[in-house]
Amino acid sequence: MPNVLITGCSSGIGRALADAFKTAGYNVWATARRTEDVTALAAAGFTAVQLDVNDGAALKALAENVGELDVLINNAGYGAMGPLLDGGTEAMQHQFETNVFAIVGVTQAFFPAIRRSKGLVVNIGSVSGVLVTPFAGAYCASKAAVHALSDALRMELAPFGVRIMEVQPGAIDTSFAKNAGTQAELLINEQSPWWPLRDSIRARAKASQDRPTPASAFAADVLKAVQQRTPPRLLRSGNGSRALPWMAALLPKGLLEKGLMKRFGLSGVL
């Protein structure tokens, strides 16, 4: 039975991936931060582990117990929404710690296991790393970084027989928008220069749920790609996952920015 370890399985994409791989006959190591989520995962039949992906000691301890690993899916992450200067460097640091630094830390910890099996590392990025929007700068930057480090890892791990597949989801039906909205509300206040645009900030937080693809359908696409003899280096799945990168590549940058500024209320003067 092949082994897969998936981070961030409490809900949404992570839980859908865990369900899909379990149904396909994999032994699924499913991680989550909160005790109640780990309990629910264990009850569902997964090898459930409480894990903070930023905890190096916990990663090392878990890696020693896993043994051989065929697939590692770096899924844990969240979206920091709001103006970049409102969140400042502190918000950026927290965003990168979970969305970027943790991918390197998790992959480093499990590299011996994935190397033994000449397995596959799957990094969950986002189309937001390709088409950058206002009021999501920290999140977009973190996902752009995921794309860059995936390319670097692909080349660096190739001599060991370890492959890298990057996934760029579009709109997926998860609690992402709700959680992103909560993050945005923490920043929105009357002292912000962008206070008059608070409704536009909230709209950006909800944009990821624009006609979303079911998480189960997205997970099925990832599973199918993983099971190919030669998994693709890049998989795009979900509503907008192809159209948005196409727009970013083909539209003049100035025209694209004007369109995004108009959509999110930035065309006027504050």
Looking only at the bridges linking them, the beta strands covering 172-173 and 163-169 are: unpaired
DSSP state of 171: B
CB count, 10 Å around CB of 178?
A: 12
219, 128, 248, 145: CA torsion to nearest 10: -100
Candidate list 22, 26, 118, 143, residue with the active-site label: 143
Active site residue 262: no
Q: Is 254 exposed, middle or buried (0-12, 13-18, 19+ CB in 10 A)?
A: exposed
Tokens representing 157 are 């791990």
Tokens representing 244 are 């948005």
Candidate list 139, 178, 206, 258, residue with the active-site label: 139
Per the CB < 8 A criterion, the answer to whether 71 and 124 are in contact is no
Active site residue 206: no
Active site residues: 139, 143
